[in-house]
Amino acid sequence: MNKQENENPERSFSIELSYDSHKLSTLSTDVHDGVLIEGTLGTLQHATFVEPEILEVKGSCGVLRVHLWRSEITVMDTTNKHIGGDSECNEGTK
């Protein structure tokens, strides 16, 4: 990680749903002393980084934006090996 990535360890997100077609199915505060929000973004249109630290997942019914760095993403291939990202918390899953 570069210096800029270490400046603020907190990550944020936003969910933007189309008013006429969203399907927000669950909003619960009864989950492990937290909040659970579930819904659908519809059919996937694209998933890309729109800024160096903003991943945008756009569907036909809405958009999910997550503040994270590309280097923080860990992808599993079909042989369960990690590809990319930092995996210090995932050592037991290799």
- Looking at the structure of the chain, the number of domains it has is 1
Q: What is the pTM of this model?
A: 0.64
Q: What radius of gyration do the chain's Cα atoms show?
A: 16
Question: Measured between alpha carbons, how far is residue 34 from residues 9, 28, 37 in Å?
Answer: 20, 8, 10
Question: pLDDT value at position 38?
Answer: 81
Establish if 6 belongs to a structural domain: no
Structural domain includes residue 84? yes
Determine the structural domain holding residue 32 and report its residue range.
11-93
Q: 4 CB contacts (<8 Å, ≥6 apart)?
A: none
In a domain, 5, yes or no: no
Domain-embedded: residue 71: yes
Over residues 35-79, the pLDDT tens digits come to 778 888 889 999 999 998 999 999 998 999 999 988 888 876 666
In a domain, 56, yes or no: yes
Residue 22 resides in a domain: yes
User: Which pLDDT value is given to residue 53?
Assistant: 92
Percent of the chain scoring above 90 in pLDDT: 23
